[in-house]
Chains A and B, each alone.
Chain A
Amino acid sequence: MLRFLISLLVGLALGAVAGLYLGWVQFPAQFVNSPAASLGERYKDEYTVMVATGYLKDGDLGGAFDRLKILGVANIPAYVQAVTERYISSSRDASDVSYLVVLAEGLGRLTPIMEPYRQLSAPVQP
């Protein structure tokens, strides 16, 4: 009986290690119904560029602000500024940079590093 119990404990230890590896590394839990705040940085960046492009199209700053709220950032103008400056410093697509600069300018966050990329402007809302 003792031999069986020792075997059981050894098996439990080996199985637990294998189970944790499978559950955390190989097949980690995948979440659904997640909020946009948990989006990966790549997708947050893409979404911010999309919103900036929408602002460039319709000049609706309030709408752009509302759309960015879902990202759950505390200070949206500061967030847009940070994304724009990161895009500039990491040499991202020039068009995306110019879209973001327009939105940053609309939110009052135009900084000197953005000045050379001010090539577009949002339409004035009626």
Chain B
Amino acid sequence: MTRYDSSGNYAPDSFSKYRRPRRPLSGWGLFIGVVLGIAGGLFYAWQVNPRIEFNTEPWQLNEADRANYMIGITLQYSYDGDLSTAVNRLLEMKLPGDPIQAVADTACRLATTGYVDNSSGVRAVRSLMVFYQLQGRKGCADTLVTLSDQLTPIPTIEAATPTLRPPATKTPTPVPAAQSSPTAQTVIIPTIRPQADFIVADVRTFCSTKFSGVIEVRVGDYNGNGIPATPIRVRWENSQSDFFTGLKPERGSDYADFQMDASKSYTVEVLGGSDPSQPLVAGPCTDPDNGQAAITSYRVTFRPA
């Protein structure tokens, strides 16, 4: 069987593209179209009609507002002394390099501008300074802004009164035969007994018609394991109630709760082992799930001091 046809041409191979039906679309045309389309789509989405800006994070702020946000962080730190929260917030700002040194640099920049022309600005810069100085950093603001409102005292120099040299005595001063060596002083460093075994680690409110006006107490150890049978005392007005953790095992061995009356103020403590909590007010609230009125409830967590 010959592969030459009647016209004498050599017949193409059965796998040749001349024997296959033509594809409806051109591969190259499709490829070029997709590339151009993606480029055009991205240009439109990023430049012509970008998504509306919302939910901006602190790291995206402009320089002036970033400085203001930083001042907010250090102002809160100056009140509550919570270094961990302050540093975490600074980290969220994605500051280049050492975030605490960035605070010092910001204070420096503000101290050299009109920002410190009023007392509010001076206070703000001072809060920045206190924060970074406590962390061992330095900045030019240290020399430009004082940390206190008091004026720097003007030193007074008292001229020394000249005294005449006493005339030499004819009799020499006797030299003592032996000098007693001083006894080394014993330094006693007092150890301070911990003031409390437990501290209030966290107080959170919640609003629920199911658990209305409840103080939920949890007591745990350093590892977060619950401590059962811990005596808890709740005080209000001239009354008090004592109970123990672990009496509701379905809620956990570290759990105890107390039902409050509306509009009264309560404190909770580990009996004989902690200071009382801040006042917990049984105020009105609205359950976010069903919109019904309820009494504010609290979750109080105690941890070892």
Contact = CB atoms under 8 A, between A and B. Distances in A.
B205 A97 contact: yes
B289 to A, nearest CB: 11
Contacts of A19: 37-45
Contact of B34 (A15, A97, A115): A15
Interface string B27-67: 11111111111111111111000110111111011111100
Given A4-B26, A19-B45, A89-B288, A14 B119 contact: no
B68 A34 contact: no
A16 B37 contact: yes
Interface in A13-68: 13-24, 28-36, 38-41, 43, 46-47, 49-51, 53-54, 56-58, 60, 62-63, 66-67
B279 A119 contact: yes
A73 interface: no
* B interface bracket (residues with beta carbon within 8 Å of A): 35 or more
A38 B33 contact: no
Which of A15, A51, A117 has the most chain B CB within a 10 Å cutoff? A15
B120 interface: yes
Contacts of B131: none
A35 B279 contact: no
B281 interface: yes
Q: Is the interface of B mostly helix, strand, loop or mixed?
A: helix
Given A29-B51, A116-B282, 13 more contacts: A6-B25, A7-B27, A8-B29, A10-B30, A13-B37, A19-B43, A20-B45, A43-B56, A50-B73, A60-B120, A67-B71, A93-B205, A95-B278
Interface of A: 3-24, 28-36, 38-41, 43, 46-47, 49-51, 53-54, 56-58, 60, 62-63, 66-67, 70, 88-95, 97, 113, 115-117, 119
10 contacts: A7-B27, A11-B33, A23-B45, A29-B51, A30-B60, A33-B60, A33-B63, A54-B78, A94-B205, A116-B296
